[in-house]
Amino acid sequence: MSTPPDQLNAQPRVAPYHFDEFGRQVHAWNLTPSHITEPVILPLGPPHVLPVIFVPGIMGSNLRSYINGQSGDPVWRLDSKPGLGKKWIGRSAGTRQVALHPDRVEVDNRGAVPTKAAGSVGFATYKGADGQTINIYTERGWGEIAAASYQDFLLWLEHTLNGQGWDPMTWSDYGLVDSVVGPAPVPGQKPAPYPPQLRMRVQGLPEGSAERNLEELPLVFRDLQKRAMYLMPVYACGYNWLDSNEKAAERLATRIDEIIRRYGSRCTQVVVVTHSMGGLVTRRCAMLPGMASKIAGVVHGVMPAVGAAVAYRRCKVGMADESSSFFGKMGALAIGNSGREVTAVFAQAPGALQLLPSGHYPAGWLRLCDEHGRPAMPPQPTADDPYTQIYLRRDRWWGLVREAWLAPEGGQAITWADYVTNAEWARKFHAIIRNAYHSTTYVYYGADDHQPSFANITWRMAEPAPPPPHTPLGPGNFNYPTYQPGRQAATRPSPERVQALGFHEVTDDGSNPVRLTAPGNGDTRQPWYVRCATQDSSGDGTVPRCSGRAPLATDNRGHVREQFRLTGFDHEGSYQNDGARRVTLYAITRIAGAALVPCSATDAAKVPA
């Protein structure tokens, strides 16, 4: 039974479209029966293009094996969180070391991508010149990054920027505040003409979160009008997060050039939105020759601006006692339950080492206390050199890396010299990006007491004592792994002695706590131990407040235009939070309002007829 013509014509006929390799808007429509006479609507976008590029955090890019110049199977792909956990559960430190080496992986663009239209994506696939089906999201780099973490946010961003038409008066994300008059006249001078403007507000922008003052940087209607001049397609740029962020920055620069070139004279700049370590990558990218002018502005989300102390802790005791949430447990399975597992990968990965607290992190973040909480050694580092004082120490058990863990069973061992080279790259990278931010930068960070983070790492001496009732004994319990009833307690070691112990003088299997007796010394008494304390600061569960707020605190050039202090999310899921999204929209609107308008000359020489 055929459908009556009046029902066929009930909805407007809108032709889906995509943008080809030259940035031209291409519409597609099939021939229809002659009795359908309504016109086909061909939606035309704005005259200019201001692409938005998303740069993920560490572990947020998909990786595949790359050996002897040949691309292989997926190594790290986060299409779903449970899937990643299942892939790595039970894997040994040696297996991790072999698979997750920066020289044996490359970015994998074959990750999960959407199949539905959104924003400037009229339909997800189209036929290329060779007849092959091309997925637009894959073409834009979305397959390079973790779908489970970022895909919902990217779809929201694509729709919000491009899917609500080009008339700012119809955009529901903004509301009118009032009119803004010009600046107060200077005594003795004729006031310059300055017409009143409509001051706008992003609906749902968290009240009181701005650390500068939104009154100094008001969002006005002309910002929305300027944004309406641009098509803002959303791209993504993954990177090899095991390798140095220096190389990741170069890859991002190449991607920026490719995207600008694609749109010809319609596009001269991009906006970059980052998550976590992606912020470090982007800060370095903006310093590369010619890049600052090609970036209209940057939005940094939950960036460890001066590092994160939790990176040190994971190398010592893993992630097993860090989180009780389901996704926290999945993260521990993937990253490593123990310090052995984490170190096997971390020590050979310059990118991971660049997440350690830099020389600009607040000093004294590594501490040792006796059983009463009194300091047992001067807090480390005492100056701005954690590299020499902590990361490269081989003579103290609290140094970052136990050398034996560089050669796990079944792995491909690296030497101490290899590790030193990687640590020195971290030192150099930290020095290069110190206080360096793009001239139009917006930041948000987490400062939530319900998402505690490690501002400091505190080791505390603990005497042998029975656990509370109904507490399991043995290695499965991280607070009381060594207590055995009836055994004599060892003599209390002096705090001075404890802080001076070397790696060979303690028993350390990469879990929490560390026993203060050397293996095989014949001492059968119940030992003392040192336990690594839990989180001590507000934050987002990973980045502490002191590092998240560092951009504005250290900015002396006015490059950080606004910084927002937010709550209500954990680190990995920050862009799922509505407040973080609203802050991002505010920042992108401000950036678009100040972006360069491309010249009107056509690019006929580059675009074929």
**58-67, 164-173, 331-340 — which is least confidently predicted?**
331-340
603 or 112: whose pLDDT is higher?
112
* Whether pLDDT at 146 is above 90: yes
Tokens 């987002």 map to which residue? 540
| d(C-alpha 466, C-alpha 481), whole Å | 10
Calculate mean pLDDT across residues 338-347.
Answer: 95
Which pLDDT does position 463 carry in this prediction? 79
Tell me the pLDDT band of 321, cut-offs 50, 70 and 90: confident
| DSSP assigned state of 321 | T
* Whether pLDDT at 177 is above 60: yes
* Whether pLDDT at 478 is above 90: no
Q: How far is CA 522 from CA 8, 216, 518, 580, in A?
A: 87, 69, 9, 56
**232-241, 460-469, 513-522 — which is least confidently predicted?**
460-469
Which pLDDT does position 601 carry in this prediction? 39
Calculate mean pLDDT across residues 15-36.
Answer: 73
Phi first, then psi, for residue 335 (nearest 5°) are -80, -45
Which pLDDT does position 333 carry in this prediction? 65
Which pLDDT does position 329 carry in this prediction? 56
E strands in 441-574: 441-446, 448-453, 457-462, 514-515, 529-532, 537-539, 560-566
Tell me the pLDDT band of 334, cut-offs 50, 70 and 90: low
Which pLDDT does position 105 carry in this prediction? 97
Q: Taking the mean position of all CA atoms in its chain, how far away is CA 194?
A: 41
| d(C-alpha 104, C-alpha 164), whole Å | 44
Cα–Cα nearest to 16, from 32, 28, 3: 28
- For 38-55, the pLDDT digits (tens) are 888 877 778 899 999 999
Which pLDDT does position 577 carry in this prediction? 98
- Positive or negative, the CA dihedral 70, 71, 75, 76 is positive
* Whether pLDDT at 295 is above 80: yes
| Radius of gyration over every alpha carbon of the chain, rounded to an integer in angstroms | 28
**55-69, 329-343, 381-395, 538-552 — which is least confidently predicted?**
329-343
Contact 392, 417 (CB under 8 A): no
Contact 237, 53 (CB under 8 A): yes
> How many helices, marked H, and strands, marked E, lie in the chain?
19, 26
Which pLDDT does position 606 carry in this prediction? 40
* Whether pLDDT at 482 is above 80: no
| DSSP assigned state of 544 | B
Exposure b/e, 215-226, CB count within 10 A at least 16 = b: eeebbbbebbeb
Cα–Cα nearest to 119, from 54, 51, 41: 51
Calculate mean pLDDT across residues 391-414.
Answer: 97
- Structure-block tokens of residue 288: 């590369």
Which pLDDT does position 587 carry in this prediction? 98
Cα angle 100, 104, 110; round to 5? 85
Which pLDDT does position 480 carry in this prediction? 52
| d(C-alpha 316, C-alpha 311), whole Å | 9
Give, for 230, the enclosing helix (H) or strand (E): strand 230-231
Tokens 């890019």 map to which residue? 61
Query: Which of 17-21, 174-178, 179-183, 222-226 reaches the highest mean pLDDT?
Result: 222-226
Tell me the pLDDT band of 26, cut-offs 50, 70 and 90: confident
Please report, as a single letter, which amino acid is at residue 354: Q
Calculate mean pLDDT across residues 427-434.
Answer: 97
- For 530-576, the pLDDT digits (tens) are 999 999 999 999 999 999 999 999 998 999 999 999 999 999 999 99
568: helix, strand or coil: coil
Q: How far apart are the first and last CA of the chain?
A: 44
- Structure-block tokens of residue 585: 């929209």
- Structure-block tokens of residue 74: 């997926």
Which pLDDT does position 231 carry in this prediction? 94
Which pLDDT does position 520 carry in this prediction? 64
- For 211-261, the pLDDT digits (tens) are 988 877 889 999 999 999 999 999 999 999 999 999 999 999 999 999 999
* Whether pLDDT at 603 is above 50: no
Which pLDDT does position 28 carry in this prediction? 73
Calculate mean pLDDT across residues 489-493.
Answer: 83
| d(C-alpha 374, C-alpha 368), whole Å | 8
Please provide the average confidence, as pLDDT, over all residues in the chain. Answer: 87
Tokens 């207590």 map to which residue? 483
| d(C-alpha 427, C-alpha 448), whole Å | 30
**28-42, 396-410, 505-519, 562-576 — which is least confidently predicted?**
28-42
Tell me the pLDDT band of 3, cut-offs 50, 70 and 90: very low
| d(C-alpha 165, C-alpha 91), whole Å | 50
Cα angle 405, 358, 311; round to 5? 40
Tokens 């903006």 map to which residue? 286
| d(C-alpha 123, C-alpha 133), whole Å | 12
Contact 510, 317 (CB under 8 A): yes
**91-95, 387-391, 521-525, 548-552 — which is least confidently predicted?**
521-525
Tell me the pLDDT band of 130, cut-offs 50, 70 and 90: confident
* Whether pLDDT at 475 is above 70: no
* Whether pLDDT at 159 is above 80: yes
Neighbouring C-beta atoms of residue 399, cutoff 10 Å: 19
Tell me the pLDDT band of 81, cut-offs 50, 70 and 90: low
Cα–Cα nearest to 62, from 106, 98, 103, 113: 106
Percent of the chain with pLDDT over 90: 67
Q: Taking the mean position of all CA atoms in its chain, how far away is CA 473?
A: 38
Which pLDDT does position 608 carry in this prediction? 36
Contact 543, 453 (CB under 8 A): yes
Q: Where are the domains of the chain?
A: 5-44
Calculate mean pLDDT across residues 81-109.
Answer: 86
Which pLDDT does position 320 carry in this prediction? 80
Which pLDDT does position 607 carry in this prediction? 36
Which pLDDT does position 188 carry in this prediction? 66
| Exposed/middle/buried for residue 355 (C-beta within 10 Å: 0-12, 13-18, 19+) | buried
Find residue 274's DSSP bridge partners. 55, 300
Q: How far is CA 407 from CA 95, 96, 345, 402, 413, in A?
A: 11, 12, 11, 10, 4
- Structure-block tokens of residue 69: 């110049």
Which pLDDT does position 189 carry in this prediction? 66
70: helix, strand or coil: strand
Q: How far is CA 186 from CA 190, 191, 340, 467, in A?
A: 8, 7, 66, 72
Phi first, then psi, for residue 339 (nearest 5°) are -60, -30
Which pLDDT does position 115 carry in this prediction? 92
* Whether pLDDT at 604 is above 60: no
- For 270-289, the pLDDT digits (tens) are 999 999 999 999 999 999 99
